[in-house]
C-alpha cells in the first residue's frame, strides 16, 4: 500500500462523523462515536490552515445569540497540542460565536491529526459549506490538489463528486480575473462561466461576459452566443489575419490582466502599437490604476 493511500485512509477515518458547519438556526445532535470534552476557550488556538477568510459579522452575531440560549449543541473539533493546549480543526464560526456570547468553555471532539491532515480536513470541511460560490469551491479544489498531493480522481472520491465535476470547477480558474470576480460576486452563475470556458479567445470571453452582465442574459442565451461564435464559418469568408503566436500570447495576457480589449499591432523593424480600449471614464481610471501600479 502506498503512503498516499495510507494517508487517504487515515484522513477518511478522521473525517468520520466530522461535524459540518451549521447555520445560525441549525441545532444538530451530537455526533455518534468519540467522546466530547469541555475545553476552556483560552486553551484553543485558531486553525492556521483555515481556508475561510471572510466571516459575516451579522450572521456571527445571530449565531452568538443562539449560543447564549442553547449553548454549543454541535461540538467543535480540535487536536491536542503540548502544554494542555488545543488547536481548532473544524467549527471556527461556532468558536467565534462562543467568544462573542461570553462562554468560558465549549464542547469539543479531540482528534489526532498532523499538519498535512489538518490542512486537508480544513479544506474539505470548507468545501462542504452551503454558502460557497463556485469560484471558492474551485480554489479549494486546487489547494487540495497542489498542497495535499491528491489527483482529481482521488479528490472526487473524497468530496463525493464525479471527476468531470471536479474538472469543470478547476477550469473556472483559467477564466480572466474580471470574469472570476463576476462569478465570485454572483454577477454571473456557474452555467454562464462554464459556457465562457469553451471560448478560446480572451477578448471574446470578455465581450460575452460584459454583454451578459449588461443585458442580464440567461445561461441558455450565453450558450447560444458561444455556439454561434465557435461554430465553423463558411469557407467563402476571408480568413482573418492572425498574429504570430508570440504576439497573440502577449495580446491575450494583456487583455486578461487589464480585463478589457487590447489590440497588438506589430510593424516593421520590431516596432508596433498597443491599443487599449475603455468603456467610460471610470473604466479609464481603473486601467490607469492597473498600469501605474508599482
CA angle 169, 172, 175 (to 5 degrees): 175
Length of the chain: 294
Q: How far apart are the first and last CA of the chain?
A: 51
Decide if 153 is catalytic.
no
Quick one: which of 148, 186, 191 has its CA closest to 168?
Answer: 191
d(CA 33, CA 35): 7
In the chain, % helix, strand, coil (3-state, to 5) comes to: 55, 10, 35
Torsions phi, psi of 4, nearest 5?
-65, -40
Strands 272-276 and 262-266 come out as: antiparallel
- For cell 487590447, name the residue: 262
Contact 262, 256 (CB under 8 A): no
**Cα separation, 122 vs 117, whole angstroms:** 8
Q: Which residues of 95-132 are buried (b: 16+ CB within 10 A; e: fewer)?
A: bbbbbbbebeebbbbbbebeeebbbbbbbbbbbbeeee
Catalytic residue among 21, 24, 92, 117: 92
Indicate the burial class of 256 (C-beta count within 10 angstroms; 0-12, 13-18, 19 or more).
buried
Catalytically active residues, by annotation: 92
Amino acid at each position: 500500500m502506498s503512503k498516499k493511500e495510507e494517508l487517504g485512509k487515515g484522513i477518511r477515518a478522521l473525517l468520520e462523523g466530522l461535524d459540518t458547519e451549521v447555520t445560525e438556526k441549525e441545532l444538530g445532535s451530537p455526533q455518534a462515536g468519540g467522546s466530547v470534552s469541555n475545553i476552556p476557550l483560552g486553551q484553543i488556538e485558531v486553525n492556521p490552515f483555515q481556508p475561510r477568510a471572510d466571516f459575516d459579522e451579522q450572521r456571527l452575531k445571530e449565531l452568538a445569540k443562539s449560543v447564549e440560549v442553547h449553548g454549543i449543541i454541535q461540538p467543535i473539533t480540535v487536536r491536542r497540542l503540548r502544554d494542555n493546549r488545543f488547536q481548532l480543526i473544524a467549527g471556527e464560526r461556532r468558536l467565534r460565536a462562543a467568544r462573542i456570547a461570553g462562554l468560558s468553555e465549549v464542547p469539543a471532539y479531540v482528534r489526532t491529526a498532523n499538519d498535512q491532515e489538518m490542512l486537508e480536513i480544513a479544506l474539505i470541511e470548507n468545501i462542504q459549506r452551503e454558502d460557497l460560490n463556485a469560484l471558492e469551491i474551485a480554489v479549494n479544489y486546487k489547494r487540495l490538489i497542489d498542497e495535499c498531493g491528491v489527483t482529481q480522481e482521488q479528490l472526487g472520491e473524497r468530496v463525493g463528486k464525479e471527476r468531470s465535476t471536479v474538472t469543470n470547477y478547476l477550469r473556472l480558474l483559467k477564466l480572466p480575473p474580471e470574469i472570476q470576480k463576476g462569478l465570485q460576486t454572483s454577477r454571473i452563475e456557474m452555467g454562464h462561466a462554464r459556457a465562457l470556458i469553451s471560448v478560446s479567445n480572451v477578448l471574446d470571453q470578455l465581450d460575452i461576459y460584459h454583454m451578459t452582465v449588461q443585458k442580464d442574459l440567461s445561461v441558455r442565451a450565453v450558450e447560444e452566443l458561444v455556439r454561434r461564435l465557435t461554430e465553423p464559418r463558411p469557407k467563402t469568408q476571408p480568413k482573418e489575419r492572425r498574429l504570430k503566436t508570440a504576439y497573440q500570447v502577449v495580446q491575450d495576457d494583456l487583455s486578461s490582466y487589464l480585463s478589457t480589449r487590447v489590440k497588438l499591432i506589430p510593424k516593421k523593424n520590431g516596432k508596433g502599437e498597443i491599443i487599449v480600449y475603455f468603456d467610460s471614464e471610470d473604466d479609464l481610471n481603473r486601467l490607469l490604476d492597473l498600469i501605474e501600479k508599482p
